[in-house]
Amino acid sequence: MVTRIGIHDSIEALFPPEVLRDRLAAVDPEVVVVDTDGVGGVDALVTFAYDDAFLDSGLEWIHSVQAGIDRFPLDELEARGISLTNSTGTHGDSVGETVAGYMLAFARRLHEFRSRQEREEWAWAEWDAPFTLSGSSLCVVGLGTLGRGIAARADALGMDVTGVKRTPTPVDHVDTVHPSSELHEAIGSAKFVALAVPLTDETEGLIGAEELARMREDAVLVNVARGGVVDQPALVDALRSDALDGAALDVFETEPLPAESPLWGMDDVIVTPHSAAAHREYPDRMAALVRENLRRIDDGESLANGVV
79: left (phi over 0), alpha (psi -120 to 50) or beta: alpha
| Nearest in space to 306 (alpha carbons), one of 93, 148, 52, 82 | 82
Q: 176: which strand partners?
A: 162
List 255, 281, 295, 301, catalytic entry: 255
> Inter-axis angle of helices 110-118 and 92-108, to 10 degrees?
70
Q: Answer yes or no: 226 catalytic.
A: yes
Range list of H helices, 9-136: 17-23, 74-79, 92-108, 110-118
List 21, 23, 226, 285, catalytic entry: 226
DSSP code at position 11? G
Instruction: Cis check for the bond before 170: say yes or no (omega within 30 of 0).
Output: no
* Cβ contact 161:175 at 8 Å: yes
d(CA 275, CA 7): 20
d(CA 5, CA 260): 40
Q: Answer yes or no: 63 catalytic.
A: no
List 23, 178, 274, 279, catalytic entry: 274
Catalytic residues: 226, 255, 274
